[in-house]
């Protein structure tokens, strides 16, 4: 079985991002970029399934600018066998990405698609669900564990009330949560091996997909600064402050 793992290039989670002076978006010029952490978990899970003999090949795929090749090389350093980059200079919103991934999935015919539940730059949490809908495949979101058994994917997913276990007929789409696994440390030899693994380039226009944005960003603003805390001497003073100053009770 082949596993397809979409990955996204985002600003590194350790970087404090800043809003552009004109409020049109986030300034990522000269900012360290890395793989979306949820997607890194997805790559790790796919590689573990291959190492367990439950999958034959892991293919990483990304959509975006040429620099996304670095993200794909990182996925191959973790253990993906090869990679595909769908090149596009457009602002790719979740629906456009889902359509591009659908075209890639139809070409590659994977038995399973594993991707992060959301990206840390826009927090949309939409691409996996949209991809499953476009393909007409079953889906399990917010997965904390995944196993393959008898042509089905057994997924434990995190819900508001606790944990829910579902069985999906393959092919299927699974989105990963933080508690699924801890990605391995990438060693230098694997980084060097990743440079020699095949990486195919595909133009988004060649797939015949309309990637034009459906949504327009009107304004981006930084969150307001938090005020300093106040030490109170009694419960009565705390209640008075909550009632009269904070006005939350």
Give me the pLDDT at residue 118, please: 92
Beta-strand relationship, 2-6 and 152-159: unpaired
Return the structure tokens found at 176: 């990963």
Q: Would the pLDDT of 225 be above 90?
A: no
Cα–Cα distance, 131 to 113 (Å, whole number): 9
Axis crossing angle, helix 68-78 with helix 37-51, rounded to the nearest 10: 40
Give me the pLDDT at residue 221, please: 85
| Of 79, 96, 81, residue with least CA distance to 8 | 96
Return the structure tokens found at 26: 């986030």
Q: What is the pLDDT of residues 68-106, one digit of tens each?
A: 999 999 999 999 999 999 998 888 999 999 999 999 999
- For the chain, domains (ranges, CATH) are 2-222 (3.40.50.620)
Ramachandran assignment for 235, one of left (phi > 0), alpha (psi -120 to 50 degrees), beta (any other): alpha
The dihedral formed by the CA atoms of 134, 140, 145 and 151, expressed in degrees to the nearest 10: -70
Return the structure tokens found at 213: 């944005």
Percentage of the chain lying above the pLDDT 70 cut = 100
Cα–Cα distance, 109 to 171 (Å, whole number): 9
Q: What is the pLDDT of residues 55-71, one digit of tens each?
A: 999 999 999 999 999 99
Give me the pLDDT at residue 27, please: 82
Q: What is the pLDDT of residues 27-47, one digit of tens each?
A: 888 888 899 999 999 999 999
Ramachandran assignment for 53, one of left (phi > 0), alpha (psi -120 to 50 degrees), beta (any other): left
Give me the pLDDT at residue 148, please: 92
Q: What is the pLDDT of residues 186-211, one digit of tens each?
A: 999 999 999 999 999 999 888 888 88
Q: Would the pLDDT of 141 be above 90?
A: yes
């Amino acid at each position: 079985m082949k596993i397809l793992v979409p990955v996204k290039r985002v600003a590194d989670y350790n970087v404090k991002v800043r809003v552009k002076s004109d409020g049109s978006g986030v300034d990522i010029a000269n900012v360290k970029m890395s793989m979306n952490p949820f997607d890194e978990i997805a790559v790790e899970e796919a590689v573990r399934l291959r190492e367990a003999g439950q999958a034959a090949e892991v293919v990483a795929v990304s959509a975006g600018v040429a620099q996304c090749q670095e993200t794909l090389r990182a996925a191959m350093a973790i253990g993906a066998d090869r990679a595909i980059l769908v090149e596009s200079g457009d602002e790719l919103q979740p629906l456009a990405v889902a359509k591009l991934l659908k075209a890639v999935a139809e070409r590659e015919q994977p038995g399973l698609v594993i991707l992060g539940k959301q990206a840390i730059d826009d927090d949309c949490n939409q691409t996996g669900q949209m991809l499953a809908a476009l393909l007409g495949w079953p889906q399990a979101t917010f997965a904390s564990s995944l196993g393959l058994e008898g042509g089905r994917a057994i997924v434990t997913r995190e819900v508001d009330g606790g944990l829910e276990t579902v069985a999906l007929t393959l092919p299927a789409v699974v989105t990963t949560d933080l508690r699924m696994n801890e990605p391995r440390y990438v060693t230098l030899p694997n980084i060097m091996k990743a440079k020699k693994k095949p990486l195919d380039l595909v133009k988004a226009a060649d797939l015949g997909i309309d990637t034009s944005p459906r949504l327009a960003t009107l304004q981006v603003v930084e969150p307001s600064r938090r005020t300093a805390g106040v030490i109170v001497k009694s419960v009565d003073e705390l209640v008075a402050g909550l009632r009269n100053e904070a006005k939350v009770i």
